[in-house]
Every structure is written in structure tokens, then in C-alpha cells.
Structure 1
Amino acid sequence: MRNVVNAHYLDTPNGKVHFYSCGDNKLPTLMLLHQTPSDGRMYHDLMLCLSDDFHCVAPDLPGFGNSELLQPDSFCVEGWASAVRYLIEYLFVTAPDSKLSLFGHHTGAAVAAEIAANTPARVQKLILSGPPLLPETVKSTLINSVALPDILDDEQRFQYYWQKVNGKDPAAPQSIALRETQSAIELGDNYPKAYQAVFDYDLENALVNLQCPTLMFAGDQDALQPYLTHALALSANAHRAEIGNTSTYVCETHPAQVARLIKEF
């Protein structure tokens, strides 16, 4: 029988964390961490592709999706990583010596790197899709591009974000752009703050301190693809994979291809 994706909540010190799971929990655990402004839903099809080999878990980071954010100052890479670590310990409560594989895409790649670098005893393998290691000039441009003008009404706000989200990959199914647009609107002021949180994080230091085998990739149409070589050069045990002519939505438009990379790594 085909696996299904289930939804759960976990109480943490900083509120409820909502997460999705798929696959037998006796299989090796694979944690999947999402990009901004998305949430765990972006991994639905990918989890189904992986569920014969992994117990897949995809949380909504605090402040995203259905996860709470009780402490606004924890809306940062370190804060998100702390919540994910709490979830990991919950999953491994009966197997304290277990390790998992971590997959992160864009924002999720920064969070995954933070966990792997600072909790090496828990991470067996790391897969980073589009690690956000950007020059300062590019960071400032991106922050300005997601800042929402105050003068927009609800309809204008929707159109504003729709154009930005859809512009990342006009060929992607509109259902993805619609969900991402709604997620951006729900984030409100936290949308640009999420970008700033990633840019404030010392991702370079985390990559230098990685100990586990690491796989990195970014599609040819992914805005972060030009910076992948730098990220790879920082990690002594990193390898590059090719994913072809794909975009920021690669996990949803090409789930079988991404699943094959993960399985073969």
C-alpha cells in the first residue's frame, strides 16, 4: 500500500511545532527543512518518493506554516535549529544513539548546516540544495526585493507577491506559486526578516566545521546556483551533484530526481 503523509504537533519550549511524516518509523530517519516563505508542505511529493527507504519528517520551522513562534527573538537560524533539535530528540527518545540524515533547501540548508556543524553526533549525512552563501551586495538586493510597500491594499499585496513568487519559475505549476504567495502574505513582516535572519547567520563558519559527508546541488535556474562552488570549497567532505535545468522549486517539480540523489548518496 502506498504511504501517506501525516500531520502532527509537538509541544516545545517555544510553542507547538507542526510537522509532517511519511514512511515506517523503523526506517532510517530523514529530516527535510524548507525554504522561505514555504513550510513542510513543499516536501509532500518528495516524501512519498522516499518513504520506502526513509522515515521522512518535514517540520514547519517556528513562525512558518502551522508552527508557533512564542519568542520573536528566536526567529533566526539558531532558533529554528533549536526547535528542530528538540524534534529530533523527541523522535529518538527510545534510540538515544541514533543518527539521521538532514536535507535542507535554501533557508532550510542554512538550518541544516547549523545542526550538522554543532550537533555532529546526531547527523550521519547532510544534503544541501542551494545553500544560501551569498555576497553582501546580493544580500542587500534580495532584502529590498521582498520588502512590502506600506501602501498596498489586500489585492495589491497579493499581486505584488504573486509576481515575485511566480517569477522564480513561471513554468512551475501555478498551485505552487499560489501556495507560496499565500505563505508570504501570512508571514507578513517576518517574510523579509526571514531573509535577513539567513543573511545574518555565519553559514561560512558552519560549512567549514562540517564533519559528516555532505552533498550539495543547485539547479541551473536556481538563483543560488552561482554560489555553489564557494560553498563546496569550504567543506572538506563535500561532493557536488548535478540536478540539471531546474529552479528553486526543484523539490516539487522534480521530486523523483531529487529522491534519487538522496538515495544514492
Structure 2
Amino acid sequence: MKHPTYHRIDIDGHKIFYRQAGDPRKPTLLLLHGFPSSSHMFRDLIPQLADRFHLIAPDIPGFGQSEAPSRANFAYTFNNLAGFIQRFIEVVGIERFALYAFDIGAPIGFRVAMKYPARLTAIISQNGNAYEEGLSDVWNPIRRYWSEPTDTNRDALREIMKPAAIRWQYEHGVSDLSKVSPDGYSLDAFHMARPDAEEIQLDIALDYASNVAMYPKFQAYFRQHQPRFLAIWGDKDPFFLPAGAEAFKRDLPNAEVRFLDTGHFALETHSSDIAAAILNFLL
């Protein structure tokens, strides 16, 4: 079944949206999106892989079509978001899977991988960082917020939630802007305009510091378990530098590292290249 189907499932009282395609009897590939996107970012990739894989792409809580629990009752931390995805895996009944993780989906996915090392068959990191040298200077205002979580430093980050900044994330580093559909950044801007969405994302930005603190644990997991690993990177990403992709080979000597001539949202311009790389890597 190449055409995706769309579902909502209850996870501990919260509705989680996901899309899936392919035969459930085939190897499963779990797709985790990034900020400020949703599983919509996989709209072109999924049909290219559905003949060979069973694909499942949830919207992380607070993103896309999934429910956004109230901040009064739910802490938007990466540990909690990873816990939601772990529960999703159990409720949907995913026994073994490869993982595709992008942007903030990567530290969520690496936590999931550490939880299920025996069930994980491979990791594909698309601009998903786990090394200090991968963080560019664009992170400096966010780093200030980590070190001094004041209202002033929080407010200084609000601009990255606005439509113009979201569009910039999609277009920066792309040589031919005609290849970037407006659907992605327009939908992200729509979701970001919902009540409390901006505060949720600022909470997540604050807790990103926990991922940097976890980098040594992620790296220890890589060294111990040596998962099959593909790092495929838009090499003009303003957030995560190519050095972050190369760094995986320190702990995973057999990792494959590939670069694409594009920016952060590499699927927008290079979905066929990424699909071909995945097929070559996993099959």
C-alpha cells in the first residue's frame, strides 16, 4: 500500500496522530520529524519507500495534528516526549524497527534507541545532531537562554517561531528555491499560530540543553551497541554543521556519512536522493 493512511490513537489519554504506509509484514521504519514541522515533512519520502518498508510517522505531542497537552499538566521536556514515543511504539505494537530521525526528532529518537537496543535495526540521522561540534553559532541566543532562563532571553527567541523565520529555515542553503514547496513552511506557520504553541516551543527550546548534556550518553550507546548508522546531511544547514555528521564516525567507525547540496530541510529538495540512500543502506 503505497498511499499513506492517517490515524489517531489514544496514548494515556492524549490523541496522537500518525501516518503509515506499506505492508506491516515488511521491515518497519519509524520516522520522527523535527521543529517546527510534523509528519507532513515525510509526504514525498513515504511513497518512495512504501513498496519495501512498513512506514510509521507520528506527530510528536505539541506538533502537527497530535494533541498538545496543557503545559499545566505536562512538562515539555525531551525525556517526556521520548516517553510518549516509547508508549506509541508499545501501543501500536512495533516489535522491531529502523529509525529515521531529523532535527529535534534525533535526541528523542536516540533516547528511544537506548530504551530498545535489541529492537532497533538501524538509525538514519538526517541533520540530527549528537556532538558539540555540530552546533553552529545560530544556537548562541538559545545557549544564553539555557544559562539564564529569564523572560528577556525567552522573548528573544520568539522571532524564530514567526512565519518569516520558519520559511527561512526551509530556504536557507537551497540553490534553487523553486524546488521548495510552500506547503511545508505554510503548514508549520499555521500550527505555530495556535493557542499556546509558541510557549510550548519555547519550553522545548529551553530543555534542548538536556540533549547536549546527554551527548556523552548517546555516544556511549553508539560505542557499546554499534547500531547500523547512516548520517545524511544537508551540508548548508545553518543549525547543525557537517562536523556533527562526521563526528558519528568517532564512535561508529562503520557509519555511513553522506552530504547533500542543500540546507536543513533536505527532504524538501532531495527526497529522491534520500530515498535511494535509505534503500541502499537498509536493503
Q: Same fold (TM over 0.5)?
A: yes
Q: Equivalent pairs: percent with the same residue?
A: 21
Alpha carbons 1:43, 1:252 under 8 Å: kept: no
Q: Does 1:27 align with 2:35?
A: no
Cα deviation, residue 243, structure 1: 3.4
Task: Deviation per CA, 1:132-180: give whole Å up to 9, x if none.
Answer: 344688433356797226xxxxxxx855445644553562222222223
**CA distance in structure 1 between the partners assigned to 2:132 and 2:193 by the alignment:** 25
Q: Does 1:115 align with 2:112?
A: yes
Report the counterpart of residue 14 of structure 2 in structure 1.
15
Report the counterpart of residue 157 of structure 2 in structure 1.
147
**TM-score, normalised relative to structure 2:** 0.78
**CA distance in structure 2 between the partners assigned to 1:81 and 1:141 by the alignment:** 25
Moved more, 215-224 or 194-203: 194-203
The aligned amino acid for 1:198 is: Y
Alpha carbons 1:217, 1:243 under 8 Å: kept: yes
Cα deviation, residue 123, structure 1: 0.7
Cα deviation, residue 221, structure 1: 1.4
Q: 1:257 to 1:39 in 2, by over 3 A?
A: same
Q: Does 1:191 align with 2:195?
A: no
Q: Does 1:178 align with 2:186?
A: yes
Q: Does 1:204 align with 2:216?
A: yes
Q: C-alpha root-mean-square deviation of aligned residues, in Å?
A: 2.7
Cα deviation, residue 60, structure 1: 0.3
**CA distance in structure 1 between the partners assigned to 2:121 and 2:163 by the alignment:** 43
Moved more, 194-203 or 27-36: 194-203
Q: Does 1:127 align with 2:124?
A: yes
**CA distance in structure 2 between the partners assigned to 1:108 and 1:146 by the alignment:** 24
Alpha carbons 1:17, 1:62 under 8 Å: kept: yes
Cα deviation, residue 9, structure 1: 1.0
Cα deviation, residue 118, structure 1: 2.6
Alpha carbons 1:8, 1:18 under 8 Å: kept: yes
Q: What secondary structure, in the 3-state scheme, does the structure 2 residue paired with 1:101 have?
A: strand
Report the counterpart of residue 87 of structure 2 in structure 1.
86
Alpha carbons 1:3, 1:48 under 8 Å: kept: yes
Report the counterpart of residue 78 of structure 2 in structure 1.
77
Report the counterpart of residue 62 of structure 1 in structure 2.
61
Task: Deviation per CA, 1:10-52: give whole Å up to 9, x if none.
Answer: 1112511111101111111100000101011110110111101
Q: Does 1:214 align with 2:229?
A: yes
Task: Deviation per CA, 1:228-253: give whole Å up to 9, x if none.
Answer: 25641453355133232022121232
Q: 1:54 to 1:37 in 2, by over 3 A?
A: same
Q: What secondary structure, in the 3-state scheme, does the structure 2 residue paired with 1:209 have?
A: helix
Report the counterpart of residue 262 of structure 2 in structure 1.
246
Alpha carbons 1:161, 1:184 under 8 Å: kept: no
Q: 1:229 to 1:7 in 2, by over 3 A?
A: closer
- Number of residues of Structure 1 aligned to a counterpart in Structure 2: 253
Report the counterpart of residue 152 of structure 1 in structure 2.
none
